[in-house]
Each structure stands twice: as C-alpha cells, then as structure tokens.
Amino acid sequence: MTPVNKIRLKAPRLKPWLKWKGLGGPNIHSLKEDLEVINLGSEEEKKEVWVGKHMPPDLKQKLLELLKEYVDVFAWSYQDMPSVDRKIVEHKLPLLPNSVPVLQQLRRMKPKVALKIKEKVEQ
C-alpha cells in the first residue's frame, strides 16, 4: 500500500485538507461532539454531512464549496443507487429449513454494569 504522502494528487484542492489531517503524523480521532452537521441540500431534501468544528474556517469554507460543487456525485439514499444489487444491502439469516429454534441461556451482567448500560441507553 502506498503511503498517503507519496501519492501524487490530481485534485489540488485536497492538499490543504491532507495537510490539516496530518500526513504521516498521528491519526486524528474525531468524536461526535467535535462535529457539526451541515445541510448541502434544501429543507425538504436534506443532504447532511458532518464537518469538524475545530477545522480552520478558510479550510472549512473550501471543503464546503468543493462538496457543494460535487453534491450530485454522492448517493444520499438507496434510490440514488439503482444499479446496486439488493443482495448487498439486504440482511439475510441463513437458517436450515427444518431446524427447531433453541432458546439460549440468559446471560446476566453485574448489577453495576447493568445500571450503567441502562443509564447510557436512556440518555
């Protein structure tokens, strides 16, 4: 696999983004709290992307201009991908036709862990 910094870019607009991302440096891990949702479409037909809140404003503006220019390239729903075979997106459980379902034993958790999970789910 070719390292990112050895790839010759054909799109010069991506160079500032790659520089911000940190070529060859440590990976940047983004949390959902560090992202803001931006709608590239209309109110009726939302086309939302997530962009880093801490991205420099000039770079964010260039990125949004690039995304708006190529908004028609992205698939925003399954209707935008008519040539994709349904087998790829449908979930199927391979069950034997005459098999009898087996009830598995309940797996219990420690009470403290169960309470923490319940708190997280209810948030």
Domains of the chain, by residue range, sit at: 28-73
How far apart are the C-alpha atoms of 19 and 13, rounded to whole Å?
Answer: 11
Q: What pLDDT sits at residue 24? A: 45
pLDDT in tens, 41-58: 888 888 999 998 888 999
Q: What angle do CA 41, 44, 49 make, to 5 degrees?
A: 35
Q: Does position 23 have pLDDT exceeding 70, yes or no?
A: no
Note the pLDDT of residue 80.
Answer: 84
Which pLDDT belongs to residue 30?
Answer: 53
The closest alpha carbon to 38, from 14, 65, 18, 20, belongs to: 65
Averaged pLDDT for residues 116-120: 90
| SS3 assignment, position 68 | helix
Mean pLDDT of 27-52: 82
